Amino acid sequence: MFCVILILVIEMISELSIKQNLTTKFMGQTVVFEEVTDSTNLLAKRNLSLDEGALFIANCQTQGRGRLGREWSSQKNDGIYMSLLLKPSIAAEDISKITLIAGVAVSRVIKESKIKYPNDIVINGKKVCGILCEMVSGESKNPAIICGIGINVNNQSFDKELKDKATSLFVHTGQKQSRVKIIGDFLCEFEILYEKFLSSGIPPIMAEYRQRCVNIGKEVIATYQNKKIIGKCTDIDDDGAIVIQTENEILKINTGEISIRGILGYI
Ligand code: BTN
């Protein structure tokens, strides 16, 4: 027991540690690790010629970026900051579905977590993981997709402005967690879901997404194209769209650019 705790306290991320027990076919089989980088999404963008499934990972980011232009706090040793390079042959409108798949994969790994539409992973109403997928046109005819994932793992506390909204696995469980194990488990789950998506589309994955989603049945405020829509989230449909019943109509919105809030707060 003492040995296990000691190993976890000093656990370092490296290409070797990630690849050592990795059982995937291609996800994470190429690893680019940097102790410090600006953003792993940017690191991936500088390496578009690498194979599909290449993993970019850092121990610390100086320009960690979130959705909707926000910053992503990326302190040394605390979290997982990683991005995957994907090269699927899919239509541009299907790209946002990759974030939904990544959300399901993270939620499978963090068993006590739920998904807040479209792709925040939460524990007890607080955010533990965020996902930022970006499309980049490289040299090949299909655009590449960079799927960036940030997980709060061993953060002991959060700044004043994040304290009420964010949590980490350490804050939740009181125990340090192995980032290497979480990364390996995530890569396995993501590969399974990604291959299913490529062969059969998103519908077979949406039943599980719905089970894990915290928004269904709740009153929500959706911010979308500078408009605020207030209503009840009645479903996340088989296409990955959020269905909102407003006073006057039923709206289906299917885009990565949407932001959802609860009427009284984050959820
Ligand atoms: C969000 O706003 O919820 C998305 C956060 C995504 C953060 C991750 S950390 C790894 C990758 N690199 C970045 O700069 N952002 C993503």
Q: What is the mean pLDDT of residues 47-72?
A: 95
Most ligand 1 atoms within 8 A of CB, residue of 68, 149, 162 to mutate: 149
Q: Does 4 have pLDDT greater than 60? A: no
What is the pLDDT, as a whole number, of residue 7?
Answer: 47
Atom of ligand 1 nearest to the CA of 64: 14
| pLDDT greater than 60 at residue 90 | yes
Q: What lines the ligand 1 site, CB under 6 Å?
A: 39-41, 61, 64-67, 70, 72, 81-83, 120, 130-132, 148-150
Q: Using N-to-C axis directions, what is the helix angle for 179-200 and 96-109, rounded to 10°?
A: 140
Nearest CA to ligand 1 atom 9: 150
More confident residue, 261 or 51: 51
Ligand 1: which residue has its CA nearest to atom 16? 148
pLDDT of residue 266: 79
pLDDT, residue 9, reads 59
Q: In this structure, which residue's CA is closest to atom 10 in ligand 1?
A: 81
Ligand 1 closest atom vs CA 68: 2
Q: What is the pLDDT of residues 179-209, one digit of tens each?
A: 999 999 999 999 999 999 999 999 999 999 9
Residues 11-59: pLDDT tens digits?
Answer: 889 999 999 989 999 999 999 999 999 999 999 999 999 999 999 999 9
Report pLDDT digits (tens) over 134-179: 999 866 677 899 999 999 999 998 888 888 899 999 999 999 999 9
Task: Give CA–CA dist 110/115, Å, rounded.
Answer: 11
**Per-residue confidence at 6, pLDDT binned at 50, 70, 90?**
very low
pLDDT tier at 1 (50, 70, 90 boundaries)?
A: low
**Region 223-232 average pLDDT:** 90
